[in-house]
Amino acid sequence: MQLIDRYHRKFEYLRLSITDECNFKCNYCLPDGYERTHQKQFLSQHEIGNLINAFAELGTTKVRITGGEPSLRRDFSKIISQIAETNAIQKVVTTTNGFNLSKHAVEWFDAGLKSINVSVDSLDANTFNLITGKNIFHKVMEGVDACVAAGFEQVKVNSVLMKGLNDHDLTTFLSWIKRNPIQLRFIELMRTEDNADFFNKYHLSGQAIKALLLKQQWLPKIRHVNDGPAEVFTHPDYLGEIGLIMPYSKDFCDNCNRLRVSAVGRLHLCLFGEEGVDLRHLLQKSSDKEQLKETILASLQEKKSSHFLDLGLSGGTPHLASIGG
């Protein structure tokens, strides 16, 4: 059994959210901070175990643990090792805002984390504070350094470039990766249900950044079938490389290779546009594994060819913290 949809896309990559909660107030995501509207019970280690076993038997080899802020969970290291020890899972990675990183990088590495994405929207401490609502730029950067020192296979830095807010940081970012072996990932600002006005004001086209890189002799890396939607660029004078995530570009969804499960156990076939399929009742007993696998396989056949964001749709996702960006 394999996770292949009607458009022949293969899904070996699962993004698992383990909490909605976050301690940052990124202006494009949770500008007013995380609001606990009701007491949510996030997936337990037991439920995560049953979920990952089923996905592993369906061909999943890579799991990204995300959120909200995944490191807010006290059992984060245990969740990493639990997933890393699952048969057939070759790679466990995470995306974090980095506030806890300098203290825990080695612990997470020892638990089995292979690579890490840290969100850093600016290399200027004031702009970082302005965007995230947290005046801890230097602490986050210490965390990035701690990851490089700990020996992660790959350390990536995610940055959402926005018009007039941090796009002037591009030159600083480029000089930074000249001597640092970091993959810098520029994520084009995505419109969600909650951020329409913000999006209209600050959205910067990824294609414009691509044109600029090509002008500066950055070279597109050859893509492999299951590489996912990022376009990666290298430059002979730079130790680091650049990944561009351009969800508004034509054909972006053709390379989709990921499925998502939210922190309350709903399967999301796309970051945008649907409410998700409840899997939680099938995560309670390991004896429900076959039914769980059949439900996942049947749901996958409903996956659409595209998110249709280019038609102005934002789907039903209030913000990316809600299902794990």
* Contact residues: ligand SF4, CB under 6 A: 22, 24, 26, 29-30, 67-69, 97, 119, 321
Q: How far apart are CA 185 and CA 159, in angstroms?
A: 6
71 touching ligand SAM, by CB under 6 A: no
Give how far the C-alpha of residue 241 lies from the chain's centroid of Cα atoms, to the nearest Å. 18
Beta bridge partners of 311: none
Tell me which of ligand SAM, ligand SF4, none is bound by residue 160, counting a contact when its beta carbon lies within the kind-specific cut-off of 5 to 8 angstroms.
ligand SAM
How near is the Cβ of 100 to ligand SAM at its closest, in Å? 11
Residue written as token pair 């890579």: 62
Part of the chain binding ligand SAM (CB under 6 A), chosen from 91-99, 135-143, 167-175, 221-229: 91-99
User: Residue 264's binding partner, choosing from ligand SF4, ligand SAM, none, with beta-carbon cut-off 5 to 8 A by kind?
Assistant: none
Contact call for residue 67 and ligand SAM (CB under 6 A): yes
Residue 241 interacts with ligand SAM (CB under 6 A): yes or no = no
| 141 is a site residue for ligand SAM (CB under 6 A) | no
Q: Which residues contact 109 (CB under 8 A, 6 or more apart)?
A: 147, 150, 151, 152
Of 129, 118, 97, the C-alpha closest to 23 is 97
* DSSP class per residue in 35-79: ---S---PPPHHHHHHHHHHHHHTT--EEEEEES-GGGSTTHHHH
Contact between 321 and 22 (Cβ < 8 Å): yes
Q: Which is nearer to ligand SAM, 51 or 101 (CB)?
A: 101
- Judged by CB, which is closer to ligand SAM: 19, or 60? 19
State in angstroms the smallest separation of the CB of 58 from ligand SAM.
Answer: 24
Residue 189 contact, options ligand SAM, ligand SF4, none, Cβ 5-8 Å cut-off depending on partner type: ligand SAM
